[in-house]
């Protein structure tokens, strides 16, 4: 009978070493979960930045499509002419004003100083000489936590010789 009590005493509870091992395994698991959470936060932040860049790239292209006579004004640095819905501005002034406002929004939206490059190339159409195609490329470079990112969007704007050339006052 003494032997059965002795065996019973040896089988009671966890030992200190087993408890430490279980705590160590739990700690490693929790550290893994914390690392995954941190990585998902970083990835989510970059995804939001990319979404903003895509929206801003499409916005400037839409502004260019709405003002085909001022296309050449979008390649400059932009200037504020105070063009609004009720004012009368030349198409090139409207383009410079659009670009000024858009660049201010892009600079306020992204940390650091994003680099914006807008290029326009005239393409000839052999099929129809009355139409012109302007190939537009908008490129935005920005960095987040020492990692550089780039977004480039290309489009073509087709117009006639009358709607693509700048209006003369």
Q: How confident is the model at residue 167 (pLDDT cuts 50, 70, 90)?
A: very low
pLDDT at 26: 95
Least confident of 43-47, 58-62, 98-102, 122-126: 122-126
Query: Residue 157, exposed/middle/buried by CB under 10 A (0-12, 13-18, 19+)?
Result: middle
* Position 9 pLDDT exceeds 70: no
Least confident of 7-16, 107-116, 148-157: 7-16
Query: Residue 155, exposed/middle/buried by CB under 10 A (0-12, 13-18, 19+)?
Result: middle
Q: How confident is the model at residue 90 (pLDDT cuts 50, 70, 90)?
A: confident
Q: How confident is the model at residue 144 (pLDDT cuts 50, 70, 90)?
A: confident
Q: What is the DSSP letter of 70?
A: G
Q: Within the chain, where are the H helices?
A: 2-10, 16-66, 91-109, 161-164
Alpha-carbon gap, residue 116 to 140, rounded angstroms: 5
Q: Which residue has the tokens 């000024």?
A: 100
């Amino acid at each position: 009978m003494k032997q059965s009590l002795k065996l019973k005493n040896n089988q009671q509870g966890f030992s200190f070493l087993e408890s430490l091992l279980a705590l160590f395994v739990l700690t490693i698991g929790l550290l893994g979960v914390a690392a995954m959470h941190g990585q998902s936060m970083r990835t989510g932040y970059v995804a939001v930045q990319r979404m903003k860049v895509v929206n801003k790239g499409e916005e400037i292209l839409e502004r260019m499509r709405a003002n085909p006579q001022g296309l050449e004004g979008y390649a400059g640095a932009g200037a504020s002419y105070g063009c609004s819905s009720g004012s009368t501005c030349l198409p090139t002034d409207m383009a410079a004003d659009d670009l000024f406002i858009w660049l201010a929004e892009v600079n306020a939206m992204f940390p650091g100083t994003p680099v914006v490059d807008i290029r326009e190339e005239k393409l000839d159409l052999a099929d129809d000489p009355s139409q012109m195609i302007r190939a537009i490329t908008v490129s935005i470079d920005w960095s987040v936590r020492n990692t550089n990112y780039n977004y480039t969007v290309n489009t073509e704007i087709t117009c006639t010789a009358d709607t693509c050339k700048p209006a003369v006052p």
